[in-house]
Chain A
């Protein structure tokens, strides 16, 4: 790979670090590990393959047709169903963005010791200024590569010397112990939901258009999706292992965002703590940017506005105002005192409900030869696409009942 390609893969790394490993993973993966040990590791693999399949598909569709996902949602679903999807996804985007903004403030608090409520406005201001000043490519690179501090969790997972036989066993789905079946299923839905969140594909497909990818970049698209999300999956697996080794035996239920960082300190020391917090800050901050932009992309693409960081902010004024307003609303939600961890759980579960209407248009257009020409879906993409669509529909139906029945995983 040339240096140019290493930098180009930044979109995938960013999408993976900010999109795959965000506050949803920090919350769900650590809780899953602390409750069920290694038994839910297989779900991460299922989620990673799913997001690779659909990201590759929507990256390919966007590179070939230059039409990002929400364009297609409107086109294929029509005005009414498209508008319903838009409203649902904006609601989820806002809730997720608020959770991530709260996470940024919490990370800043752990790094600086300053009061949380002071750090919320500072954090939002920092994110807005960054988005305003930096071009799209540099946002990708800065947040993508600094988010790699999270790799310390992989080191921590290895240094904790887990029983690797048990770990391997966790990659095989089967019977479970340590909690009720409903709670187990709730975590299955939660881990899949945070792995395959709809804002990731809204952002990724728009990023493909922002980065001017075309037919010749289809190879890069495939590599980016696979490397990026496999990396995200590795981090998610490491989080589960760390939580399983450290928290499960002592009965700790991690209710705070800082808990995984303490685990890194336990096994790697002060440097580990610092790396974990910086990695978390940039992963969660990157996800805050992705969600606010995903919201603005979706709005603009539904109504046909000019959009993108490539435009001057005033030339695409409705798009610019959209992401600014989403940050402002997220700020108000967090300032009103909602617990970011609780907010995360709700946002992940509700995003699962919005998944089918996001993924179906991608699958349909990827099969449309009039759009895709030679780059139309092959047999493997269609087999996996269809299989995962069935999975998505099943978890979309199960998500809210499971949340209510288990009282949000509390049993």
Chain B
């Protein structure tokens, strides 16, 4: 983010909708990677989206994480703004997000009129 803004990361990022530069939904902020927690100035390095990012989210989260693949790391430098949603600077595909829709589109795309 270009200018310094005060953001409560637990309330404003975690579990919020991610939207790419084309305005498309592309997952949720499922977990955060934070560096420098032992020092004075901890910093959010990346957002973790989907898959085993859920393992830190309670018992149900651990179970869900075990059933799914790896999380996608979105570097914090890719974040454009934080409002009621977290807006990213690039389209979802460039950040390897929304691959689930691409995967299942191979089946749904075969139906007429899809």
Contacts and interface: CB of A to CB of B under 8 A. Distances in A.
Interface in A66-86: 66-67, 71, 74-75, 78-80, 82-84
A307 interface: yes
B64 interface: yes
Given A65-B84, A320-B108, A79 B54 contact: yes
A305 B111 contact: no
A80 B58 contact: yes
Nearest to B27: A304
Interface in A304-320: 304-307, 312-318, 320
B61 A321 contact: no
Nearest to B30: A79
A247 to B, nearest CB: 46
A292 to B, nearest CB: 16
Contact of B26 (A65, A66, A302, A304): A304
A314 B25 contact: no
Interface string B75-105: 0000000001100000000000010111111
Interface residues of A, number: 31
Nearest to A302: B28
Contacts of A371: 84
A308 B13 CA distance: 23
B61 A317 contact: no
A75 to B, nearest CB: 5
Nearest to B98: A306
B64 to A, nearest CB: 7
Interface string B4-21: 000000000011111000
B57 A317 contact: no
A241 to B, nearest CB: 45
A84 B60 CA distance: 8
Contacts of A316: 101
Given A74-B28, A306-B98, A314 B114 contact: yes
Nearest to B18: A304
B66 to A, nearest CB: 14
A3 interface: no
B105 A317 contact: yes
B37 interface: no
Interface string A321-348: 1000000000000000000000000000
B107 interface: yes
Contacts of B108: 313-314, 317, 320-321
Contacts of A314: 105, 108-109, 111, 114
A313 B113 contact: yes
A125 B1 CA distance: 50
B3 interface: no
Interface residues of B, number: 35
Given A67-B84, A132-B113, A306-B24, A80 B15 contact: no
B59 A317 contact: no
Contacts of B105: 314-315, 317
B104 A317 contact: yes
B15 A75 contact: yes
A83 B107 contact: no
B8 to A, nearest CB: 10
A317 B113 contact: no
Contacts of A404: none
A321 B42 CA distance: 41
A321 B107 CA distance: 9
A304 B28 contact: yes
B114 A312 contact: yes
Given A80-B58, A307-B25, A318 B100 contact: yes
A1 interface: no
A305 B25 contact: yes
Nearest to A82: B15
B110 to A, nearest CB: 9
A65 B30 CA distance: 21
Contacts of B26: 304, 306
Contacts of B50: 303
B24 to A, nearest CB: 6
Given A74-B15, A79-B30, A304-B25, A318 B58 contact: no
Contacts of B113: 132-133, 313
10 closest A-B pairs (Cβ-Cβ)? Answer: A80-B58, A79-B57, A317-B104, A304-B28, A314-B109, A317-B108, A304-B27, A313-B114, A317-B105, A314-B114
Interface of A: 65-67, 71, 74-75, 78-80, 82-84, 132-133, 300, 302-307, 312-318, 320-321, 371
11 contacts: A66-B84, A80-B59, A303-B28, A304-B49, A305-B27, A305-B98, A306-B101, A307-B25, A315-B101, A317-B103, A317-B109
